């Protein structure tokens, strides 16, 4: 697939673009751990929204479609804003924007705790989405800057924090909010305050790097390995990656938003117990995220993408036919396998388009958020008109789109030529 590009137009933009940050050989693990922790705190707050759905459904008498619209408001805001934030910060890094984003998350969280109407809940979702949109591209830049030569590992550590936070959100709702009511969501403001402190420290570190980055930016751009592919080939590869993100995040939307209802409706499982099962699934995704990046550094990211998207299909196809114990076991395998792809996809895309770290991160995080939000609304409406079981049976086929991985060029092989 990658040997017929000698006569193709190389990827040389007419208008010069800002270069990627100058990245040394040393991996700065304290900063990677700090940004991973802050990602976990950010996504813990995000995860409160879908985890709170059973409470909101009862207190505000909402339909599945209305619940899906809450997720849509959050993800649509984040999806639209993330690429814009990434584009702007590629040109002008804004280290303090990390703390600003977490501050907005705090405001949205407190709004959610006191929301007494459906419109107020939607507004809280938009505020949380805006805070998340500011956080992700610049945080991904920090992970890239601190990675050294271990970009897959750095992206996995960054994503690990997010997945761990996504897993803790439902567990916190099960332990606190289900028993004490919607107002107890305010207790999670402590999570946001901790995030503010951590991100202020990270911002201080990034500010100290700016003087080092700016004078060396042009030299770093010259050293950046080019994949040697035509514009059309790069556009085709990015399109394939977008389809793979679509398959992954529509399936993830079915799990994060409706798995609790699936267990409750099909097996009669109590909501707190179903929330714990959701935590098990999300914890498995955290494990998969940690595995995917380092393996991609060693064997190539395309192989990880193959194994993750297509490899999960037998398990998703078996889930709608499994009993309660089998379903929980299968979701552990599903979570580990399907989560291993995202870090590999993001780094693969950054290598396809060197010099645009923030924009590529913003595009892929934003697209993933947008797909997840639209999927939550569409799947909720489908569940209202059919059943939760039908939704899970339909989504089980999505990983077969992983067959499109065959059309991805071998970026690692191109870079070594």
Q: What is the pLDDT of residues 278-333, one digit of tens each?
A: 888 988 887 887 777 777 677 777 788 887 888 889 999 999 999 999 999 999 99
pLDDT at site 226: 52
pLDDT at site 215: 40
Q: Inform me whether the pLDDT recorded for 62 exceeds 90.
A: no
- Cα separations in angstroms, 328 against 290, 335, 341: 21, 11, 21
- Mean pLDDT of the 372-393 span: 88
Does residue 229 come out as left (phi exceeding 0), alpha (psi in the -120 to 50 range) or beta?
Answer: beta
Mean pLDDT score of the chain: 79
pLDDT at site 412: 61
- pLDDT tens per residue, range 183-238: 888 888 898 899 999 999 998 888 887 655 544 443 444 444 455 678 888 888 88
Least confident of 5-19, 141-155, 213-227, 386-400: 5-19
SS3 133: helix
Residues with Cβ < 8 Å from 318, sequence gap 6 or more?
Answer: 326, 330
Contact 368, 223 (CB under 8 A): no
> Residue 46 and residue 117: Cα distance in Å, rounded?
19
Residue with structure tokens 């990245």?
A: 23
- Mean pLDDT of the 28-48 span: 87
> Residue 282 and residue 168: Cα distance in Å, rounded?
8
> Residue 54 and residue 362: Cα distance in Å, rounded?
31
> Residue 301 and residue 37: Cα distance in Å, rounded?
25
> Token pair of 195, please?
């995030």
Query: Whole-angstrom distance between the N-terminal and C-terminal Cα of the chain?
Result: 15
> Residue 316 and residue 303: Cα distance in Å, rounded?
20
Domains in the chain, CATH or no CATH each:
29-411 (1.20.1250.20)
Upper half-sphere CA count for residue 276 (Cβ side, 13 Å): 5
Q: Inform me whether the pLDDT recorded for 138 exceeds 50.
A: yes
The residue with greater pLDDT, 7 or 363, is 363
């Amino acid at each position: 697939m990658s040997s017929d590009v000698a006569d193709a137009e190389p990827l040389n933009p007419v208008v010069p673009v800002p270069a990627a940050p100058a990245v040394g050989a040393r991996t700065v693990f304290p900063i990677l751990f700090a940004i991973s922790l802050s990602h976990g705190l950010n996504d813990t707050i995000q995860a409160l929204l879908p985890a709170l759905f059973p409470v909101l459904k009862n207190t505000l008498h909402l339909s599945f479609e209305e619940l899906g619209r809450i997720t849509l408001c959050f993800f649509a805001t984040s999806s639209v804003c993330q690429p814009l934030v990434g584009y702007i910060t590629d040109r002008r890094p804004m280290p303090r924007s990390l703390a600003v984003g977490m501050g907005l998350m705090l405001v949205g969280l407190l709004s959610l705790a006191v929301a007494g109407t459906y419109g107020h809940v939607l507004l809280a979702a938009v505020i949380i989405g805006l805070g998340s949109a500011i956080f992700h591209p610049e945080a991904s830049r920090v992970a890239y800057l601190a990675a050294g030569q271990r970009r897959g590992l750095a992206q996995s550590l960054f994503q690990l924090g997010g997945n761990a936070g996504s897993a803790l959100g439902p567990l916190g709702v099960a332990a606190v909010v289900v028993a004490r009511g919607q107002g107890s969501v305010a207790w999670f403001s402590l999570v946001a305050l901790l995030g503010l402190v951590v991100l202020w420290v990270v911002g201080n570190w990034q500010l100290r790097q700016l003087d080092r980055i700016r004078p060396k930016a042009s030299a770093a751009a010259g050293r950046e390995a080019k994949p040697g592919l035509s514009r059309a080939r790069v556009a085709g590869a990015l399109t394939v990656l977008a389809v793979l993100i679509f398959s992954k995040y529509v399936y993830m939307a079915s799990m994060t938003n409706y798995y609790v209802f699936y267990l409750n409706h099909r097996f009669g499982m109590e909501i707190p117990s179903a929330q714990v099962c959701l935590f098990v699934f999300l914890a498995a995704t955290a494990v998969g995220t940690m595995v995917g990046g380092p393996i991609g550094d060693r064997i190539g990211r395309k192989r990880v993408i193959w194994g993750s998207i297509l490899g999960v299909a037998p398990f998703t196809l078996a889930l709608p036919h499994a009993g309660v114990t089998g379903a929980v076991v299968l979701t552990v395998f599903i979570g580990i396998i399907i989560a291993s792809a995202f870090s590999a996809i993001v780094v693969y895309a950054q290598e396809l388009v060197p010099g645009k770290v923030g924009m590529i991160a913003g595009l892929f995080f934003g697209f993933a958020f947008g797909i997840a939000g639209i999927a939550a609304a569409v799947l909720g409406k489908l569940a209202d008109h059919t059943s939760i079981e039908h939704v899970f049976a339909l989504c089980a086929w999505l990983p077969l789109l992983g067959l499109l991985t065959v059309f991805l060029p071998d970026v690692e092989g191109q870079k070594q030529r």
